[in-house]
């Protein structure tokens, strides 16, 4: 009987390991697709992959996180306000689903701020008063929860920089946040290969913008 129980235990552990590896492999492939994309079709293909994984792995928040990120990045590919709003609306749906699975998650809160940030971009004069403060609040909340989250600090710094530029204020403080976030990307590594790691290229772009001011 003891030998039978040991065999059953080994089978269960092996099945769990293979199952876990299958999930991570599917996620890693979809993440690579998302990170390598630079056009709308690439982003939408990646989103579809994450959505399939999320439907199969209903207790995992990361597939919905990345699906939301994919739609946010898709919104970068167009200047048509209604299309941007459509993509951001879909991103919001995925972030809401992920947040139910992982409440008070600084990475998800960062994406929520990112959505508000992109809403401002559609029409800054009219939307700035409504969404700028909300974006800053979400980024600040994420940084407060995890001061080592470079994505939250980077976007907080860029949002503050935009505000400073709009009002003609000194950008040294906001650029300081951007510089610090950029350095964090250089020394940090994600805990696993499927944890969020994006932002370095964006940081480099914002650093260049700071140096030009």
Q: What is the mean pLDDT of each run of 10 residues along the chain (213 residues)?
A: 42 40 96 97 98 97 98 97 98 98 98 98 93 97 98 98 93 97 94 96 96 88
| 145 and 106 Cβ atoms separated by less than 8 Å | yes
- pLDDT for position 164: 93
Please give the distance of CA 30 from its chain centroid, rounded to a whole number: 14
Phi, psi (rounded to 5 degrees) for 132? -60, -50
Distance CA 65, CA 91 (A): 9
- pLDDT for position 4: 41
| 103 and 60 Cβ atoms separated by less than 8 Å | no
Q: Which part of the chain has CATH 1.25.40?
A: 104-213
- pLDDT for position 166: 87
Q: Does domain 104-213 have CATH number 2.60.40?
A: no
Q: What is the DSSP letter of 195?
A: S
What's the sign of the alpha-carbon dihedral 30, 32, 35, 40?
negative
Distance CA 156, CA 180 (A): 12
Whole-model pTM: value is 0.90
């Amino acid at each position: 009987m003891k030998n039978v129980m040991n065999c059953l235990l080994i089978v269960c552990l092996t099945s769990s390991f293979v199952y876990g590896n299958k999930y991570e492999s599917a996620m890693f492939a979809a993440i690579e697709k998302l990170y390598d994309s630079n056009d709308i079709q690439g982003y939408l293909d990646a989103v579809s992959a994450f959505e399939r994984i999320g439907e199969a792995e209903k207790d995992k928040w990361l597939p919905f996180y990345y699906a939301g990120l994919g739609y946010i990045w898709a919104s970068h590919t167009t200047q048509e306000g209604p299309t941007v709003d459509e993509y951001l609306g879909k991103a919001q749906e995925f972030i809401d689903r992920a947040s139910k699975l992982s409440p008070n998650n600084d990475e998800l809160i960062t994406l929520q701020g990112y959505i508000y940030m992109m809403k401002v971009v559609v029409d800054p004069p009219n939307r700035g008063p409504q969404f700028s403060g909300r974006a800053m609040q979400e980024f600040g909340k994420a940084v407060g929860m995890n001061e080592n989250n470079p994505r939250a600090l980077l976007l907080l710094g860029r949002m503050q920089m935009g505000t400073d530029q709009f009002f003609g204020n000194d950008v040294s403080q906001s650029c300081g946040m951007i510089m610090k976030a950029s350095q964090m990307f250089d020394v940090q590594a994600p805990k696993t290969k499927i944890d969020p790691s994006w932002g370095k290229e964006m940081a480099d772009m914002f650093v260049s913008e700071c140096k030009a001011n």
